[in-house]
Amino acid sequence: MVRRSTPVLWCVIQPWICQAASITTLPKPDDSVVLPRQVNGDVSSSTFLRRAYHASAVLGGRVYIDGGEVSYYSGTDITFQYSNSLLSIDLTEDWTSDSVRFDSTSKPTGAANLKGGGIWVDETQGVLYTGFAGIKSDFGNNANQPQGLWSFKPDGKGGGTWQNLNSTADKMFTEKLRPFQGKIASGNGVGYFLGGTQAFFPRPPRLLCFKSNFDGPVSGLLTYDFASKKAINTSVSLASTQGSEQFGSMLYVPNFGKKGILVSVGGYIGDLQTDDSNARLASMDTARIFDIDSNAWFEQSTSGTSPRPRQEYCMAGVASDNQTYEILIYAGWGRTLGSVSVPFDDAYVLTLPGFYWTKAPYTARNPRHALSCNGVGGGQIITIGGVDTTRDGPNPLYKVVFTTTDPFSQGIAVFDLATLKITDTYTANRTSYSPAPAIQSFYNDKGRKPESGFTNSQLESVFAHQKFKATNNSDPFPPPTPSSPPTPSDSSSPSPSGSTDPSSSSKAGPIAGGVVGGVAAIAAAIALGYFLARRRTKKKGLSEEGEQHQEQQQQQQQQSPQQGQQQVVQETKWQPGGYEPYSGGGGVEAPYTDGNGNGYSGDRLYQHQQVHELPPHHVVHEMPERQNVSEMPERQNVSEMPERQNVSEMPERQNVSEMP
């Protein structure tokens, strides 16, 4: 339950807040360049800069991207807008980040365009749900977005059908203000939303220095049953968080537990008290597990090299052919902009059921946050977007992180769990995935349990129910078919049909049986000889095929450094498998064309930090070093900014008990 607090006159008690929100060194906005709304989220690759605060999900052989904000060049100026279309990328064809094509589907009137939102996926019916979470953008015309829940039924070709569900869905989607920046997952016919933030009341006239409503953390787990169309908000029985988790990610893992589990790591823990003294980044040394079958929460200790606490990272997982489940944690930030954020450009893999962390071996150079990522088969995880965490002013802080060119072409990259490397190439129809040696060695040495053991016997029994396919060589994107929830792997096979009543047998049975038995013996002998001959031939063929495959890999390795040389906005692109050296923020900053931003993002205040000299650059192993961008604009020192003080009192928060 959210505890109530006393509202304060922020502009009176802390006048520097209003000053920071109004002072700007930007030129006067050019109204001819500021667009009323972004008609299409598919920005040309030649002008694209950044994409962030969107949501993405995979369904039926496509990854869908909804909402969020983008920046791009308009001549020599930068335009900031929010996306007004649903994008998708075809996963049934090979592509690189240079060649990938975005298919754009327009939204009907009334469908919200939100940042900090999410997508629920109903794989049984083949439907996406949007509009249940998010907040309006500060970019463009800063338009209010209508309440309501929408569904999208893909047609398999990049298009589909939108449907407004306000007349049939739970009334909370139309009668309650939608939360945003919570942890979102879906599976087993249910959508989940954990924690998040919510705007509780419109800003009063005395606080006109702020553009957005006041907001604060909310607690609890919201569940929406796709079949019954009922939404329920339940409390979270974890003393460490009370369910008030924000700015992070959560995964539905179907491979453990009778009905699957939810896994939550990282993020920001909002303080439900009145003084914010307990607000903090969540430690990555502990994972939070929700068993769907028993409605029970657990906390499990992890081992290995764990990531530093962070928020607004991306998280995705893939099941392996070794009956393990690997979860990627990539990028994010520690709530401080500037060069101190460079180390957050790292990637870690948490493997289940061992709860063991492995750090991907590469040099951090280009940190980003507010991105998304999705598992797409064969151990591949697509990463989408992210803003430049190294940019820290003195211009409006929310916009400045959008002003550099993304080193990933079109904001797209692929992380390979099998090699623990980032590349620019996606390979379709990869159905088999084996864990990297660094991960597999843990299970070889420690077994299939956490090093410290499971928290208790109940959690251990949850992980005792394992559901993995006998082989991963199947369609990675099967068509939606109505089915019941998955059952444990030790379930019995279906009974054969067409059985015969024993009473109908005749006296001729023994004679027929003898004849059939003799024929069967002869057939078995012939089959055995054929099998042995085929085995020798196949073994020889596989040996030759393996040598050919090895030669092809060597040729690809020799050719790969030649990829990605096309220039965009006078900047050399990131090389596959590696990272560019830090070049003062990752791109060239251009004059602004839109003066709406004021440093306050609506859901957070960015923290200033004076820019420090960076450590020497390092070249990624076996990868060519990228050239630094010349003639970078000189950063202005932000040390003259007034010192910020923590506001000890929070605005009044809504009681969570009012949620249905």
Q: Which residues contact 176 (CB under 8 A, 6 or more apart)?
A: 658, 659, 660
Res. 410 pLDDT band, cuts 50 70 90: very high
CATH number for the domain spanning 171: value is 2.120.10.80
Q: Tokens 């159905």, residue?
A: 431
Assess whether pLDDT exceeds 60 at residue 636: no
596 close to 139: Cβ distance less than 8 angstroms: yes
Q: What is the pLDDT of residue 199?
A: 73
Q: What is the pLDDT of residue 273?
A: 60
Assess whether pLDDT exceeds 90 at residue 124: yes
Q: Identify whether 538 is part of a domain.
A: no
**Which of 299-308, 574-583, 616-625 has the highest average model confidence (pLDDT)?**
299-308
Assess whether pLDDT exceeds 70 at residue 266: yes
Res. 192 pLDDT band, cuts 50 70 90: very high
Q: What is the pLDDT of residue 350?
A: 98
DSSP-derived secondary structure for 195-247: S-EEEEEPPPGGGTT-SS-EEEE--SEEEEETTTTEEEEE----TTTTT-EES
Taking the CB of residue 484, how many other CB atoms lie within 10 A of it? 7
Of the candidates 334, 433, 341, 330, the one whose C-alpha atom is nearest the C-alpha of residue 372 is: 330
Compute the distance between CA of residue 368 and CA of residue 406 in angstroms, rounded to an integer: 9
Q: What is the pLDDT of residue 156?
A: 87
Mean pLDDT of 124-128: 96
What is the pTM for the complete model shown? 0.70
Q: What is the pLDDT of residue 477?
A: 64
Helix (H, G, I), strand (E, B) or coil at 545: helix
Q: Using alpha carbons only, what angle is made at residue 525 by residues 521 and 526, rounded to the nearest 5 degrees?
A: 120
Rounded CA Rg of the chain: 27
Tell me, what DSSP letter sits at residue 258?
S
323 close to 315: Cβ distance less than 8 angstroms: no
Higher pLDDT, 171 or 548: 171
| 178-192, 388-402, 630-644: the lowest-pLDDT one | 630-644
Q: Identify whether 110 is part of a domain.
A: yes
Of the candidates 121, 138, 8, 130, the one whose C-alpha atom is nearest the C-alpha of residue 71 is: 138
Assess whether pLDDT exceeds 60 at residue 602: no
Res. 277 pLDDT band, cuts 50 70 90: low
Q: What is the pLDDT of residue 476?
A: 60
Q: What is the pLDDT of residue 105?
A: 94
Of the candidates 7, 489, 415, the one whose C-alpha atom is nearest the C-alpha of residue 207 is: 7
Q: Identify whether 514 is part of a domain.
A: no
Assess whether pLDDT exceeds 80 at residue 159: yes
| 21-30, 497-506, 512-521: the lowest-pLDDT one | 21-30
Assess whether pLDDT exceeds 70 at residue 53: yes
Q: What is the pLDDT of residue 357?
A: 98
Q: Which residues contact 430 (CB under 8 A, 6 or more apart)?
A: 377, 378, 379, 380, 476
549 membership: H or E segment, kind and range:
helix 509-559
Partnered with residue 106 across adjacent β-strands are 85
Boundaries of domain holding 315: 48-202+212-464
Higher pLDDT, 80 or 271: 80
The full length of the chain comes to 660
Higher pLDDT, 127 or 640: 127
Assess whether pLDDT exceeds 90 at residue 122: yes
Q: Identify whether 557 is part of a domain.
A: no
Compute the distance between CA of residue 301 and CA of residue 310 in angstroms, rounded to an integer: 17
Compute the distance between CA of residue 449 and CA of residue 454 in angstroms, rounded to an integer: 7
Of the candidates 334, 367, 364, 411, the one whose C-alpha atom is nearest the C-alpha of residue 606 is: 334
Helix (H, G, I), strand (E, B) or coil at 254: coil
Res. 427 pLDDT band, cuts 50 70 90: very high
Q: Identify whether 316 is part of a domain.
A: yes
Q: What is the pLDDT of residue 343?
A: 95
Compute the distance between CA of residue 125 and CA of residue 467 in angstroms, rounded to an integer: 22
Helix (H, G, I), strand (E, B) or coil at 525: helix
The answer, yes or no, to whether the previous bond of 394 is cis (omega within 30 of 0) is yes
Assess whether pLDDT exceeds 70 at residue 610: no
Q: What is the pLDDT of residue 256?
A: 98
Q: What is the pLDDT of residue 645?
A: 44
Q: Using alpha carbons only, what angle is made at residue 634 by residues 572 and 617, rounded to the nearest 5 degrees?
A: 50
Helix (H, G, I), strand (E, B) or coil at 503: helix
Q: Identify whether 122 is part of a domain.
A: yes
Higher pLDDT, 552 or 493: 552
Mean pLDDT of 263-291: 85
410 phi and psi angles, rounded to 5 deg: 60, 15
Of the candidates 208, 212, 153, 151, the one whose C-alpha atom is nearest the C-alpha of residue 180 is: 212
Higher pLDDT, 240 or 497: 240
DSSP-derived secondary structure for 131-155: SSS-B--SSTT--------EEEEE-
Q: What is the pLDDT of residue 278?
A: 76
User: Across all residues in the chain, what is the average pLDDT?
Assistant: 74
Q: Identify whether 100 is part of a domain.
A: yes
| 213-217, 242-246, 386-390: the lowest-pLDDT one | 213-217
Assess whether pLDDT exceeds 70 at residue 34: no
95 close to 563: Cβ distance less than 8 angstroms: no
Res. 523 pLDDT band, cuts 50 70 90: low
- The sign of the torsion formed by the CA atoms of 56, 59, 61, 64 equals negative
Q: How many independent structural domains does the chain possess?
A: 1
Higher pLDDT, 71 or 16: 71
Mean pLDDT of 100-114: 95
Query: How far, rounded to the nearest angstrom, does the alpha carbon of residue 295 sit from its chain's CA centroid?
Result: 24
| 153-157, 243-247, 479-483: the lowest-pLDDT one | 479-483
Q: What is the pLDDT of residue 232?
A: 94
Q: Identify whether 500 is part of a domain.
A: no
